[in-house]
Structure 1
Amino acid sequence: MRLVVLGLSLSSSWGNGHATTFRALLAAFAARGHDILFLERDTPWYASQRDLAAPDYCRLEFYADLAGLQRWCSEIAGADAVIVGSYVPDGAAVGRFVQEVAGGITAFYDIDTPVTLARLERDDCDYLSSELIPGYDVYLSFTGGPTLDLLEDHYGAPAARPLFCSVDPDSYPPLDVKKRWDLSYLGTYSPDRQPMLERLLIDPARVMPDRRFVVAGPQYPADIDWPANVERIAHLPPADHALFYSASRFTLNVTRADMIRAGWSPSVRLFEAAACGTPIISDIWDGLAELFVPDREIILAFDGGAVAVALAQEDDVAAAIGRAGRARALAGHSAAQRAAELEAYLSEAMMRRAEAPALAVTG
């Protein structure tokens, strides 16, 4: 299969989770024998923070603006499938261009589905419009559950399919290192995540000065009052993620507000931490218990008190939860499994496209 992907970023993981998602998925997809071209908008922010210049599993090319996409017309037209990702700059215009030019099937990969739908309702989404959704042969969604029905029934998506994030087990192994922190958190600052981070990490840190905490990720405002026992790491490249998680007795999963409301929206950090065998403390949302069994593979926390109880557990109990979480992540959420799902969804869309003329003639 010849696949063209127009995504937010593959070259830079700075300040976004899209790059690590695409890297794991596309490397595994290429391993299945497919040819991939990734087109990335050349933006100053990511250009100055690139940590993957030349992937060995796909061609990575850059375009300066919408006019610059014309250079790739023949590749887009000749591809078996073209995927446009969420948060692509001028993504709505990019989507219209792709739908006009592509000769094969087209797909939208929404790594931010609840946020996207909330923005569509407010009519302030610049990377997708309601009018474009029916024109994509398949809507690949980071969110499962009832949201898939909404995409088909309300927005007219021909086929909405769940394509959760995943983890490359080779990149996220458990490491035998000394524990530096009792509780860690890895994530870019987000205003709607911050209240939960305050509740589940910052507030507990204030009342447990003997415990060690760390928050890694960029864009946190300078006026946040970090307790003295909370270490800050401004940016943690993917190559250091496994070491970070392995050095944590527990790690925290915090979900954006729109994704909590929608449910069934696991973050890439959830599977990466689990693959490292680090026991996870998570906020609570619909669908999470279908991914990890509470109290056995993950710990659910609604406030700082629940976090304190979790941190007080014996190391052998915590390790058992970490091992069980790792087993679940590897069994159901590896990049190889996601690549197989993507191949199946695209093949299904191709089959529908091929059958459509015959059905029209028959009708």
Structure 2
Amino acid sequence: MNSKMNISFFASSLVSAYWNGAATYYRGIVRALHARGHRVRFYEPDAFGRQQHRDIDDPDWAEVIVYPGEGDAHARRMVEHARGADLVVKASGVGVFDALLEEAVLDLQGPGTRVVFWDVDAPATLDRLQANPADPFHALVPRYDMVLTYGGGDPVVQAYRRVGARDCVPIYNALDPSTHHPVGPDPRFEADLGFLGNRLPDREARVDEFFLRAAGLLPARRFLLGGSGWDGKTLPANVRNIGHVYTADHNAFNRTPMAVLNVSRDSMARYGFSPATRVFEAAGAAACLVTDAWEGVELFLEPGKEVLVAESGDEVAAHVQALDARAARRIGEAAYRRVLAEHTYAHRAAQLEALLEGRDAAQPQEVLA
């Protein structure tokens, strides 16, 4: 492998976080790879209104190539445009052309080109494959040089190997300290507990339990809800819905409330070892984070010291009731120190580079056991 790679990345969007929860992950990984001397072309379709809701301009650390979101011919031209890259990545969840791209990028494999499937929602992909033996992706998995995932730990690794993956390695979410960092409070986001996340079918029941139930139990406390899709949802009187929050405001959203909440999607919680981007965004802002319980959380943040873990909405309410500003700040600052030391995208890019070069790729040891 060349020490400095030309990488072609087919994914949802680098420049827009609108209905695109993986944006922070892509930006962190790509920026860190650029910092290590690699060149990235990022191919993204004009779909789902993302180009109309950009939250960053084209960055100087990647070449962004936007192509029409309709018409197979456009997607096929993009694949041909990527020919000759050292590494071609097809990410899950592009949203359009997924089946086409999953097969077409494999035609780029050759002596100087490796093709990787990078799954940003491995639990959903694996559940889909298990439910449908006729899914055409079954035949494609063994053809990829490698499967990377942004979470899942050993359960996901073993499940991917069972469906024929040559290898599967988690490259976990992390912090980009250049974009997510402590800031001053912002009166727009004042609350006792904030939750930021889009309304999704496989997370809504958990939001009802961990966030809205907690709000109902603490009518005198202020709760803040951010994210797309919540209009029309019946909310307790003490919950304020502010809609989509652009990434430029994420630091203030995380830093201003006394605490912020992470709620995993159903499949992520079931597989475990799947810290959302929001976990590291919050820790990077030195926020006091409360998270729903999932296996493996202690590999990233220490419960009780760097994060508060709750098994139910009742426990979320108990955490909020017991917190004061001083204790919340102590937890947030401990989380901030931990992620800077162990969980930045610079760490993840070094891991990926080592993996592709055949060297040991450092990860939390418990995950590799």
Output the TM-score relative to the length of structure 1: 0.90
**Residues 1:78 and 2:84 aligned together:** yes
CA drift of 1:51 comes to: 2.1
Residues 38 and 125 of structure 1: CA distance in aligned 2, closer, same or farther (over 3 Å) = farther
**Partner residue in 2 for 1:270:** 279
Structure 2 residue corresponding to 1:182, chosen from 188, 192, 198: 192
CA drift of 1:71 comes to: 3.2
The residue correspondences of 1:18-57 to structure 2 (distance < 5 A) are 18-57=22-61
Output the aligned Cα RMSD: 1.9
Structure 1 residue corresponding to 2:74, chosen from 68, 83, 86: 68
Tell me which moved more, 253-262 or 200-209. Answer: 200-209
CA drift of 1:107 comes to: 0.5
The sequence identity of aligned pairs, in percent, is 34
Q: Secondary structure at the match of 1:20?
A: helix
Distance 2:134 2:243 in 1: 28
The letter of the residue matching 2:118 is Y
CA drift of 1:292 comes to: 1.2
CA drift of 1:73 comes to: 4.8
CA drift of 1:74 comes to: 5.1
**Partner residue in 2 for 1:341:** 351
Tell me if the contact between 1:81 and 1:346 (Cα under 8 Å) persists in the aligned partners. no
The residue correspondences of 1:88-107 to structure 2 (distance < 5 A) are 88=94, 89-103=96-110, 104-107=113-116
Residues 325 and 120 of structure 1: CA distance in aligned 2, closer, same or farther (over 3 Å) = same
Distance 1:62 1:207 in 2: 47
Distance 1:218 1:125 in 2: 34
**Partner residue in 2 for 1:210:** 220
Q: Secondary structure at the match of 1:219?
A: coil
**Residues 1:150 and 2:159 aligned together:** yes
Q: Can you list the C-alpha shifts for 1:269-323, whole angstroms capped at 9, x where unaligned? A: 0111011111111111111122111111111111233222211223222211111
The residue correspondences of 1:226-245 to structure 2 (distance < 5 A) are 226-245=235-254
**Partner residue in 2 for 1:135:** 143
Unaligned runs of 5+ in 1: 350-363
Unaligned runs of 5+ in 2: 360-369
Distance 1:40 1:265 in 2: 25
- Equivalenced residues, count: 346
Structure 2 residue corresponding to 1:3, chosen from 7, 10, 17: 7
Residues 125 and 26 of structure 1: CA distance in aligned 2, closer, same or farther (over 3 Å) = farther
**Partner residue in 2 for 1:360:** none
Distance 2:58 2:115 in 1: 25
Q: Secondary structure at the match of 1:132?
A: helix
Distance 2:45 2:208 in 1: 34
The letter of the residue matching 1:300 is V
Residues 125 and 202 of structure 1: CA distance in aligned 2, closer, same or farther (over 3 Å) = farther
**Partner residue in 2 for 1:16:** 20
Tell me if the contact between 1:38 and 1:58 (Cα under 8 Å) persists in the aligned partners. yes
Tell me if the contact between 1:107 and 1:137 (Cα under 8 Å) persists in the aligned partners. yes
CA drift of 1:91 comes to: 1.5
Q: Secondary structure at the match of 1:348?
A: coil
Residues 36 and 124 of structure 1: CA distance in aligned 2, closer, same or farther (over 3 Å) = farther
Q: Secondary structure at the match of 2:50?
A: helix
Tell me if the contact between 1:6 and 1:84 (Cα under 8 Å) persists in the aligned partners. yes
Distance 1:37 1:298 in 2: 36
